[in-house]
Amino acid sequence: ESSSAAVGKLAEQREERRPRDDTNGRRHKNAALRPGPQFGSSLQPATRGSLSLDLASAVDITLTSTKPVRVSAGTFAPVLVNGRPVGGLILGQSLATLLGLFVLPGVIDADYKGEIMVMVHTLAPPLTLPAGQRFAQFIPLVQHTEKIPPREDRERDDTGFGSCGGLVLLSLDLSKRPKQVVVITYKGEQLSCHALLDTGVDASIINSNCYPSHWPLFEAVATVSGVGGVSLAKRTPMMTIYIDEKQMTAVFSVITLPQGVECLIGRDILSQLGMRL
């Protein structure tokens, strides 16, 4: 009688095997955070034919609004390619874009020696970016401006955001309705009202119910149309207006406006704010 022998090790002789790490690139969003800060020389391309070096988030971050935020890539410049510091572009990755995370393009100079930060925003908050998620890429570039005399004889060092100097931009919160609190001053007195920003109005208007009775008014031959028909308005002397700490001057028309509308800010003031109308 023949008996068949089992091939291989007995159960008690077998070593306990650890499951193999998942190499599926689509699951990299759950990857563990790389320990400690890294330097640009440790960045790696995804494949042999890649033109860029991958950047991953160093921390867990949740975007709760549509405003741009800075995300640390956990990497410090200079970025070394073949032993030489290089500059380059920061762009987003296609998968991150499909998931609703948009990377704002940035430039890393060859003489920059600080932490690499990436600007991102989303149009559909909230959105969570976990630590270790690859979401951006650094594309090395050859410095063609190397022999052009610089405007300042110094290196970029660790100066990044804000290094271009003073920059003033108009920023008004119009997320709910185009309304702003406006402060109107005349001879040391002030009137605060909720104004409706209206690019369809040539001259700004104050509701007669809100205008202080002891402030002067002048007769005007001009009419105001479009607010309940055609009205003969009175006009104010030159007023000083403050919107978000920005100062303008204008003459207002004074008529009765619909209920709930205290003031209309028209193109005469909006143009002073730098709006292109």
Among residues 109, 111, 198, 202, the one annotated as catalytic is 198
Catalytic-residue membership of 21: no
Give the chain as a 3 state SS string: CCCCCCCCCCHHHCCCCCCCCCCCHHHHHHCCCCCCCEEHHHCCCCCCCCCCEEEECCCCEEECCCCCEEEEEEEECCEEECCEEEEEEEEECHHHHHCCEEECCEEECCCECCEEEEEEEECCCCEEECCCCEEEEEEEECCCCCCCCCCCCCCCECCCCCCCCCCCCCCCCCCCCCEEEEEEEECCEEEEEEEEECCCCCCCEEECCCCCCCCCCEEEEEEEECCCCEEEEEECCCEEEEECCEEEEECCEEECCCCCCCEEECHHHHHHHCCCC
| Residues identified as active-site | 198
